[in-house]
Structure 1
Amino acid sequence: MNANTMNISRRGLIGSLGALAGTALMPRMAFASAAAEARFPVVTRMVDGYVSSGKLPGMIATLGQGIGTSALDIARGTLARGNPSPVDMDSLFRIYSMTKPVTGMAAMMLVDDGKLRLDQPLADLIPAFGKMQAQATPDGSITDLRPAKTQITIRHLLTHTAGLGYSIIQQGPIKDAYIKAGVVPGQASRMALPGLEKFTPLKSLAEFAEVLATLPLVYEPGTTWSYSVGLDLMGRVIEIASGMAFDQFLKTRLFDPLGMASTGFRVPEAQAPRLTTNYAVAGGMLLPIDPAKTSVYLDQPAYPFGGAGLVSSPRDYDRFLAMVLGYGSFGGRQVMSEAAVRLGTSNLLPVGTDLSRSFIKGNGFGAGGSVGLGEDAGTYGWAGAAGTVGFVSFRAGLRAGLYTQYMPSEAYPVHREFAQAVLADVTQKKAAA
């Protein structure tokens, strides 16, 4: 649920490490790893700066190099202002669009199982998408429509090229239609927030899919990269192809094998003390919009949002990144096949995709995440709407994650600064070797 992503840094050393789009006397409240600080001094200064300046109450970076290694962490601050509990590897964060790579890899498992095909028409699984209408003018009239010339495919859903809309991206009548229909697969607060209009959620992924099929496409399928609800719809596709509820599939095939016990679409009340508070940055102030004690994530969501719904811990998400970096291997077990990971982290964009209006210019896109191209090849990852980001660099044998909670994510250049800091530290280390 984030309109920022990873703009690729042209540094051949490690390929593309994407930049996605208290008081000074505050004590260090978390148990930072001395080894991590020594190895990643630029990242350490960045994390220090955001917390010691009072811009954010807490932040933690996780960095792991090599397959089978534990991540190092650099943590500062607390779960919330006024809360003495330090941020650590087991704190809980709303990862929003970092859910998309998880859903993408789940889909790749089913491709590997032979239950889905990348270029399979979506209508094979959900017939309602067989005869779609597209806007004559993107974000224009929703009555001036034309029949779509191309069928939506699984590839399109994974790569935001299905022509579907997104209420956080579209403007005008199509945005209003999405909100009115309840096709808003995400949540941020119990409060009404500017830009996050109140809506009546649909009751299930099945209903979400059927209602979505009645709305016009913004673009002709396969022609244009446009951030969309494609990965949310993929949740329903996974249910149909696997015969399992989407959230149960993730738990059975990914979370349990990876030991991701703290990751899910709802925070159990007993775990609320580990949950961070999410803030809005407004006028230089931090305003709590989703306090941990009363968080909307303590409730069961209407259905699992495959594009933006997960809450996770730095430790858990690092396990997911470690599995991807290990080409499907984790803890001596092949959680998913090497072929599936290689395919999912490759450029899956349809040939000729128009990127001129996208925020991934110069990049490719894989299964739910941005990928580097050419001399920048070797990275895969994505960012979240509340300041989180996670990626892997296959060239450097590196995985990296950053976790904090504020909205909108563009209020601070955290995504870009983190990628630049990691790049600087890895570059300096290689130069000194």
Structure 2
Amino acid sequence: MKAHMIWSAAGAIALAAAAAGSGWAGQAQRATPAAAPRPAATAASVSIPRSTPLPATQALFDGYVAAKRVPGIAGAFGVGDAPTVFVAAGRLSYAAGAPAAGPDSLWRIYSMTKPVTAMAAMILIEEGRIGLDDPLSKYFPAFATMRVLTSPDTSLESRPATKPITIRELLTHTAGLAYSINAKGPLLKEYERQGILPLQVNAATERQARAARPATLAAFAERVATLPLIAEPGTKWSYSIGLDVMGAVIEKASGMPLDRFVQTRILNPLRMTSTYWQVPAAEASRLATNYAVLNGESLPFDPAATSVFLQRPSFAYGGAGLVASVRDYDRFLHMIQEGGTLDGVRILKPETVRLATSNLLPPGVVFPASNGATDEAGYGAGGYVTLVDRPGVLAGTYGWDGAANTVSWVNPTRKFRGVVMVNIFPPGSMPLRREVPAALLRDMAGAMRARP
């Protein structure tokens, strides 16, 4: 099918500009209401034909594989109500005979879990069971007496906090909490000692982490409450475990485990049949191997056959716990694009989606854009939000990235979305935020030339 029959020129421009402008994160045809078929256990059957309406994007993906930058890659791109376009190349590992990468391959999405958890929280906010500006201590009283470090990088000395942590601050990384990936000095050691490690990377590191980690999400939150903050709540944006603590609040407010709530209220209604906290053994052949690049060599850091994601996690990690396919994540983004409803199933009201994808930062707090600008981006529920139209940037775009170089974005106002998945460490080592938009622009130019 001709590219211009699927993608309007304006839509292609919007999609490319959205992808280019969303680089702040440090990190099928629209289905009918009938039940979606479950993907086959092997990904070999879902390899993508090269007759794609996005030939430049396909060529980019092919080039990544040919250059051995990744063994495989998959993406999904949508504009309005046009059919989603899937692009993929390569295989799920460098091993001989590995299954082909495709729309239903499984990838560790790490921090792209955060928008899912955030939208789960927005469901409860919409229903009045959580208040956006409720104090966290309403759900976990231990957070009523927090302390703030006086020298965060060098000492555990602290003073009493003068402000309470709120739900808004959990959703926007402004609660004063830290992360094991960015904490320093004594606080980092304390996070590690106390098991404040709500993620899994491979079987070897998981054995050590699990020995210290609390056994339940509620116990995790209670332990976080005993540790000092790096900043006064509501005064600074700092990437954090806020969405993991948010998961504990969701459990309290909903009366069910986080993973069950997400499954019941988001995954099942959207027919996201390839999104897991624990990959079933029967689906392991669809899981990509996660590689780590060291001195130019790709090493299998978490092989699919023995992946830690085949194990049951200590609890559902709301900040970094999910494995998903691009087909599934596209459905999640499509729901947001359509104001909370997909295929006649409503997850959220339009006004709730507008709130979630707006700038929710407390007054005076800015989101540190990678280009140093403070007026171009804000932060919504679990993801950045672009605030202005500028070259390469479209206002209203929401999204977030994952540690293994997965990227995503959606713009509910202009009606476009995109997701690209690979699995390779270190974070940010693949130039997807720069090179995918450039390829989409080339595809847009080709679509314009093809128009009668």
Same fold (TM over 0.5): yes
Select which of 103, 109, 112 maps to 2:123. Answer: 109
Does structure 1 residue 32 correspond to structure 2 residue 32?
no
Deviation at 1:201, TM superposition (A): 1.9
Q: Which residue pairs with 1:278 in the alignment? A: 290
Letter in 2 for 1:100: K
SS at match of 2:204: coil
Offset from partner CA, 1:300-355 (integer Å, 9 cap, x none): 00000000000111111111011011111111221221111111011101110144
Sort the Cα spacing of 1:335 and 1:357 in 2 relative to 1 into closer, same or farther, 3 A.
closer
Does structure 1 residue 236 correspond to structure 2 residue 254?
no
Query: How many Å separate the matches in 2 of 1:388 and 1:87?
Result: 14
Q: Which residue pairs with 1:394 in the alignment? A: 412
Query: How many Å separate the matches in 2 of 1:399 and 1:207?
Result: 37
Query: How many Å separate the matches in 1 of 2:418 and 2:89?
Result: 16
SS at match of 1:60: strand
Sort the Cα spacing of 1:419 and 1:106 in 2 relative to 1 into closer, same or farther, 3 A.
farther
Letter in 1 for 2:94: R
Q: Which residue pairs with 2:7 in the alignment? A: none
Query: How many Å separate the matches in 2 of 1:133 and 1:351?
Result: 21
Deviation at 1:169, TM superposition (A): 0.9
SS at match of 1:409: coil
Contact 2:71 2:91 in 1 (8 A): yes
Query: How many Å separate the matches in 2 of 1:411 and 1:357?
Result: 18
Does structure 1 residue 188 correspond to structure 2 residue 201?
yes
Does structure 1 residue 78 correspond to structure 2 residue 91?
yes
* Number of residue-to-residue matches in the alignment: 411
Deviation at 1:85, TM superposition (A): 1.1
Deviation at 1:427, TM superposition (A): 7.0
Select which of 360, 370, 373 maps to 1:348. Answer: 360
CA RMSD of aligned residues (A): 2.4
Q: Which residue pairs with 1:88 in the alignment? A: 102
Letter in 2 for 1:161: T
Where do residues 11-410 of structure 1 align in structure 2 (5 Å cutoff)?
16-17=18-19, 18-19=22-23, 20-21=25-26, 31-34=47-50, 37-38=52-53, 40-67=54-81, 69-82=82-95, 83-142=97-156, 144-192=157-205, 200-355=212-367, 361=374, 362-375=376-389, 376-410=394-428
Deviation at 1:64, TM superposition (A): 1.3
Q: TM-score, normalised by structure 2?
A: 0.85
Letter in 1 for 2:306: T
Sort the Cα spacing of 1:374 and 1:293 in 2 relative to 1 into closer, same or farther, 3 A.
same
Query: How many Å separate the matches in 2 of 1:107 and 1:29?
Result: 36
SS at match of 2:115: helix
Contact 2:86 2:103 in 1 (8 A): yes
Q: What percent identity do the matched residue pairs reach?
A: 45
Query: How many Å separate the matches in 1 of 2:342 and 2:273?
Result: 15
Sort the Cα spacing of 1:84 and 1:357 in 2 relative to 1 into closer, same or farther, 3 A.
closer
Contact 1:348 1:367 in 2 (8 A): yes
Query: How many Å separate the matches in 2 of 1:228 and 1:296?
Result: 23
Deviation at 1:33, TM superposition (A): 4.8
Q: TM-score, normalised by structure 1?
A: 0.89
Contact 1:16 1:378 in 2 (8 A): no
SS at match of 1:227: coil
Deviation at 1:151, TM superposition (A): 0.6
Sort the Cα spacing of 1:359 and 1:118 in 2 relative to 1 into closer, same or farther, 3 A.
farther
Greater mean deviation of Cα atoms: 41-50 or 275-284: 41-50
Deviation at 1:84, TM superposition (A): 3.1
Q: Which residue pairs with 2:32 in the alignment? A: none
Deviation at 1:136, TM superposition (A): 1.1
SS at match of 2:353: helix
Greater mean deviation of Cα atoms: 351-360 or 124-133: 351-360
Contact 1:30 1:76 in 2 (8 A): no
Offset from partner CA, 1:114-163 (integer Å, 9 cap, x none): 11111111111110000100011233311x21111111000000000000
Query: How many Å separate the matches in 1 of 2:357 and 2:196?
Result: 28
Deviation at 1:397, TM superposition (A): 1.7
Contact 1:121 1:152 in 2 (8 A): yes
Any gaps of 5 or more consecutive residues in structure 2? 1-11, 27-43
